[in-house]
Structure 1
Amino acid sequence: MPLSLLDDLRALAPTIRKLAPQIEQDREIPASLIDQLAALGVFRLAAPADCGGLEADPVILIRVFEELGRADGSTGWTAMIAAATGMALGHLPPATARSMLEDPHFLIAGVAAPTGRATPVEGGHHVTGRWAFASAGRHATWLIGGALTPAGPRLFVMEPSSLTFHDTWHVSGLRGTGSNDFAADDVFVPDDRTFSLAEPPTQSGALYAFPALSLLALGIGAVSLGIARAAIEDFTELAKSKINPLTGKPLASRPTAQTAVAQAMALHGAGFAYLSEAVAAAGPDTASRALLRLAITTATTNAAQAVNLVYKAAGGNAVYDTSPLQRHFRDIHVATQHAMVSPEVTETVGAMLLGEEVSSVRI
């Protein structure tokens, strides 16, 4: 299924590209496109196979997220968050996961940061809190919120109908992700819908042995690489059609344009190869996890550098709303702001490589 899914997504990509300006204007993905992605199984990629998910290999996830990011940054990001968050079902009782996946519109999203508070009661917890950056939240059938309990932080899976949404996502890029805030006010969450990533998963498949934080983070690098590939392709098209009125030659004939597109392609290729290799070699030990996070951060950084190169080489044409290059530029520079690929990640890995003691919690 995952490999045929790539073919299906490539066939859907032209439709997504045409929708991209409207997606940005509306600040969310249209329900019809969400339904198409759900029907293809995108949101089940990291959910347990024996419960109705696809339980795809992380290397496949990279290819899927990169392909969707290439079609549209906001669509890629939304799909990536929803698909990767599906790994949470591997930490829930199988019967609970199975019942969630019975819904053909299944889409789980949320925020792991423990910005809520949870009070234990008989049979579960009462959860109160507010969570920011909830990409795909408006389309979710289930939302996760991290909260502090007397025993430590846990994750709680809540029904959207019990939550309040706040229209906060007024931003420079990735506007179509609809990453608004949501809040819970004393919402009861039963015991079978709460878990901790510090506890062993309920599923034994290889996907759930993969470092949980890295599984959630790898899509950032993959979608970013997709945005870079789209920027390179759009610049290539522009370079062939943009004619210098003084010389009559296309932008493509200029050495600066040629150098920019070659360097951008190299940055994309290096980032994709490094990320793919690190994911394939990932293990549970601290050193392996740290190097994987470095590869994810590097892929994101490389993608931003690639977009910067072709954006600058495009000249004044790139600043107009009608140019997709300006959207790629804004989208990629929102992606680089995510905490999962912050400079602190590189600092932590560097400290480990130099023999300094680092906290495994950060990676």
Structure 2
Amino acid sequence: MSQAVLDGVRDLLPTFRSRADEAERLRVVPDASIKELSETGFFKLLQPRRFDGHESDPETFYTAVKEIAGACGSTAWVSSVVGVHPWQVALFPDEAQQAVWGSDTDTRLSSSYAPTGKAQQVEGGFQLSGRWSFSSGCDHCQWVLLGGLVFNAEGQVVDFRTFMVPRKDYTIEDVWNVVGLRGTGSNDIVVDDVFIPEAFTLSMSDTGRCFGPGQEQNTSDLYKLPFHSVFTMTISTPIIGMAYGAYAEHVEMQQKRVRAAYLAEKTSQDPYATVRIARAANEIDSAWVLQMHNLRELQASVAKGERIPLQLRLKVRRDQVIASERAIRAIDMMFEASGGRALAEGTYLQRQWRDAHAGRVHAANDPERALAMFGSLEFGHKIDPGMY
């Protein structure tokens, strides 16, 4: 079934590319694209089988995202972050899973995990308030996952949780006016003193140790992978896919290009251009292959029933942030060598360049923090694995 989903996604790629300008103009992915993607089964790749999902190998999910990104960066970004949320919902208590999918297994969720909201402990749950930014694809979703600090009656922070909130309990404020990933509709979510039952929350301390109450119902190894490994790959994969798309476009452009400033020399015969292509190809392939290799290592540890080594988790993060760097470095190399025509509004290459750099600023792509954690562990320092 996963292969059928991939085939269906690939059939849509020309359409997604043709709508890239529309996505930028609308500042959201067109409804038709979300509908078509849903019909392939893409959004159910990581969803539990008991809710009509596929419980597929996450490599299938990432491969689909990568290929979508080669057509349209914004569509891939929304597909990736919305498409990964069923994986996390599967970790919530069964009551929350039933609320999301019990009557409609096509229900989608957006998110904003930075703990910019405040939750007060009350009997049976929490009172949640705040504003959250960058909730990509929120206009296409019926629920949202929000990060928040939990305060006790004395005003002390006692937990960091993810809160699952239905559409009736939040408003979307249209603030997304940006130069890259413009079509993602990553608007603000506002919640005003809403009660969230305990069962509709998930502690980050639990997810940090690869645990969630939903594992009682969803026993697949898929749901035993580390939260931060799964979610950070969700951010780097679209950027790698944009690099693959930019590479194919650049090669095609340069095969046709004649450089007037160099006595009408064909760019494809320029030895410096060929070297640049080789370097770019290596950067992109290295980013993708190593990321998938690490995913398989995680899966192998889970399959053996082992606790995933902290060193492996930090290696996954190390390679994930460097994968984003490699992909963007490759795009930069090609963009710099593409000539003035690549600058024109509406051209494919400049959009991929803008979208990739916009994706780079996501917190999951912060290289120094992830690399410092890996290096500190190598030097024998104590590391808290909670966020990695």
TM range (shorter): over 0.9
Alignment of 1:1-16 (within 5 A): 1-16=1-16
CA offsets 1:63-85 (integer angstroms, 9 cap, x no match): 11111111111111101001112
Partner of 1:35: 35
Aligned partners of 1:88 and 1:73: how far apart in 2?
Answer: 23
CA offsets 1:137-166 (integer angstroms, 9 cap, x no match): 111111011122234121111112321222
Question: With structure 2 as the length reference, what TM-score do the two structures score?
Answer: 0.89
Q: Which of 298, 313, 317 is the aligned partner of 1:293? A: 317
Matched to 1:213, the amino acid is H
Matched to 2:18, the amino acid is K
Superposed displacement of residue 99, structure 1: 4.4
User: Is 1:264 matched up with 2:264?
Assistant: no
Which runs of no fewer than 5 residues in structure 2 stay unpaired? 153-157, 302-307
CA change 1:60–1:197 in 2 (3 A) is: farther
Partner of 2:114: 113
Aligned partners of 2:282 and 2:311: how far apart in 1?
Answer: 27
Aligned partners of 1:175 and 1:112: how far apart in 2?
Answer: 20
Partner of 1:181: 188
Task: Give the match's secondary structure for 1:111.
Answer: strand
User: Is 1:276 matched up with 2:305?
Assistant: no
8 Å Cα contact 2:117/2:129 also seen in 1:
yes
Superposed displacement of residue 359, structure 1: 2.5
User: Is 1:349 matched up with 2:365?
Assistant: no
Task: Give the match's secondary structure for 2:259.
Answer: coil
- State, as a whole percentage, how many aligned pairs show the same letter: 29
Partner of 2:271: 255
Alignment of 1:199-278 (within 5 A): 199=206, 200-201=211-212, 202-203=214-215, 204-245=219-260, 247-278=263-294
Partner of 1:304: 328
Q: Which moved more, 1:163-172 or 1:329-338?
A: 163-172
Aligned partners of 1:77 and 1:225: how far apart in 2?
Answer: 11
CA offsets 1:76-111 (integer angstroms, 9 cap, x no match): 110100111222222223353244224254211111
Superposed displacement of residue 115, structure 1: 1.4
RMSD over equivalenced CA pairs, Å: 1.7
Which runs of no fewer than 5 residues in structure 1 stay unpaired? none
CA offsets 1:301-359 (integer angstroms, 9 cap, x no match): 11001101110110212211132111111111111111112121112112222323332
User: Is 1:160 matched up with 2:176?
Assistant: no
Matched to 2:163, the amino acid is F
Matched to 2:196, the amino acid is V
Partner of 1:64: 64
User: Is 1:125 matched up with 2:126?
Assistant: yes
Aligned partners of 1:250 and 1:220: how far apart in 2?
Answer: 37
Partner of 2:51: 51
Matched to 1:261, the amino acid is I
Aligned partners of 1:9 and 1:261: how far apart in 2?
Answer: 27
8 Å Cα contact 1:29/1:177 also seen in 2:
yes
Aligned partners of 2:146 and 2:325: how far apart in 1?
Answer: 28
Partner of 1:24: 24
Superposed displacement of residue 192, structure 1: 2.7
Superposed displacement of residue 247, structure 1: 3.5
Paired residues, number: 363
Aligned partners of 2:271 and 2:104: how far apart in 1?
Answer: 54
Q: Which moved more, 1:248-257 or 1:133-142?
A: 248-257
